Amino acid sequence: MAEKLLKYYKYVSDSHGMGAKIQLAQDTKVPSSRAAMEPDSPQNIALFKEAVQKITGRPAPNF
């Protein structure tokens, strides 16, 4: 459950720092603490991928 969503949090944090992690939470409206409980649904993954691309300026990885 939420394995992929947490990987997106780790990805932005590792590559762009804590500010990017905070931005991901704001853009998705899913804080990292809640991401662990959210399903890896196609809708959630699409939401996170879009936010990651906005934050990093690169296409989000496929986890």
Measured distance CA(30)–CA(38) in Å, rounded: 8
Which phi and psi angles does 60 have, rounded to 5°? -70, 145
User: Is residue 63 in some structural domain?
Assistant: no
- CB under 8 Å to 57, separation ≥6 — which residues? none
At residue 1, the pLDDT reads 63
Is 62 a member of any domain? no
Per-residue pLDDT at 6: 96
Residue 51 domain boundaries: 3-56
14 domain-assigned = yes
- Total domains in the chain come to 1
Q: At what angle do helices 3-16 and 18-28 cross, to 10 degrees?
A: 140
Read off the pLDDT of residues 31-63 as tens digits, 9 standing for 90 and up: 999 999 999 999 999 999 999 999 999 999 999
pLDDT at 2: 77
Distances in whole angstroms, Cα of residue 38 to Cα of each of 6, 8, 15, 57: 10, 13, 23, 25
In a domain, 52, yes or no: yes
Please provide the size of the chain in residues: 63
